[in-house]
Homo-oligomer: A and B are copies of this chain.
Amino acid sequence: MVSKTMPDKPLGTQAAKSERTRQSILESANEIAQNEGVGNLTLARVAANAGISKGGLLHHFGSKQELIIGLLTETLDQADSDLNRLADANDRTSGAFAQAYLDFVRTSQHTNGTATGVFAAAALEDGDLTPARAMFDRWQHRLVAEDNIDQDIAMLARVVGDGLWLIDLFDLAPPSEAQRQRLFEFIEAQL
């Protein structure tokens, strides 16, 4: 859902409107992939869902592959900025990013639709996972080499984070709230 509030900055300009359209396309695509599966992610449906024509869509994304790549990078950037925000939010001198990594999973537990379709789309259709790999590389490096904590604990935090993320993503026998809580506590105690 795109914000339908009044303009505030350089809004109302052509470029700004275009950007909003682009966003709504991305959101529509994400929505469809998430709710109906990547197999049903067609240009026509995305366009319809975004309230524009297919031609209009193709004006913004020259091909389906471009759309998928756009979707992937959008999600990654979003996650990265969330992580940075979370890392800044806690005032740890060590383990700030590890803490953020866990917080991210914790908070995105039920909002995780963001990545649901996207990730899979990029992984399986014709997309290219390179940007995702690059991003995970950065996170990994930041955890292990720049977070001022024990390397092994950093690794643990990351793997647990990824595991929970996967579990939540596909709803694969997710742990109870209590179990999840204790799991977080256990790891955070070691940061």
Name A residues whose Cβ lies closer than 8 Å to a Cβ of B: 33, 37-39, 117, 120-121, 123-126, 129, 132-133, 136-137, 139-140, 144, 151-152, 155-156, 158-167, 170-173, 175, 179, 182-183, 186
| Residues of B with C-beta under 8 A to A117 | 124
User: Interface SS of chain A: helix, strand, loop or mixed?
Assistant: helix
| Chain B residue with Cβ nearest A143 | B173
| Residues of B with C-beta under 8 A to A175 | 140, 155, 159
CB of A126, distance to nearest CB on chain B (Å): 6
Most buried by B among A37, A117, A124, A179: A124
Most buried by B among A159, A162, A167: A159
Please provide the 9 A-B residue pairs with the shortest distance between their CB atoms, ordered closest to farther: A163-B163, A159-B163, A136-B173, A39-B125, A162-B163, A140-B173, A38-B124, A136-B172, A166-B166
Report if A133-B172 is in contact (Cβ < 8 Å); known contacts: A160-B159, A163-B166, A186-B156. Answer: yes
> Which listed residue, B136, B137, B183, touches A156 by the CB 8 Å rule?
B183
27 A-B residue pairings within 8 Å (CB atoms): A33-B124, A37-B124, A37-B126, A38-B125, A117-B124, A120-B120, A120-B123, A120-B124, A129-B170, A133-B172, A133-B173, A136-B172, A140-B173, A152-B182, A152-B183, A155-B175, A155-B179, A155-B183, A156-B183, A158-B163, A159-B160, A160-B163, A162-B166, A162-B172, A163-B163, A163-B164, A165-B166
Q: How many chain copies?
A: 2
| Chain B residue with Cβ nearest A126 | B39
| Residues of B with C-beta under 8 A to A183 | 152, 155-156, 159
